[in-house]
Amino acid sequence: MAFKIPRLRRSHKFRYARVEWQVGTTLQLQRMAHENLGLGTWTNTDEGVPVTELGDRIGMLDVRDVKHPRLVKPPGIMDSVETDNEPELDWYEKN
């Protein structure tokens, strides 16, 4: 079967199945959840381990309703504008 894999990768017939298989991995699902919130600048999105740029902030778990936890933007993102003379204090340092 291994000899057929390269041929399947080139086949347009199996493109959807191949992409769906790849994005169904845990790391890709997490990337899509964060990306849907507009968080992170992602690279390697077509590979096994997607990564963000150094220093990117990603979502956090909102557990106010423990029966329905949600991924949300961290406080402070899009709430303020950072200026050169007044750097924003990281939310995690405040709390």
Domain ranges across the chain? 2-94
pLDDT category at 71 given cuts 50, 70, 90 is very high
Query: What is the phi/psi pair of residue 29, to 5°?
Result: -65, -40
Residue 4, both tokens: 């057929």
pLDDT above 70: residue 88? no
Q: What is the per-residue pLDDT across 6-16, written as a single tens digit (0 to 9) for each?
A: 665 667 778 88
- 71 contacts 37 by C-beta, under 8 angstroms: yes
Q: Please report the pLDDT score of residue 7 as a whole number.
A: 63
70 or 1: whose pLDDT is higher? 70
Q: What is the per-residue pLDDT across 15-57, written as a single tens digit (0 to 9) for each?
A: 888 888 888 999 999 999 999 999 999 999 988 999 999 999 9
Question: Cα–Cα distance between 95 and 85 in angstroms, integer?
Answer: 23
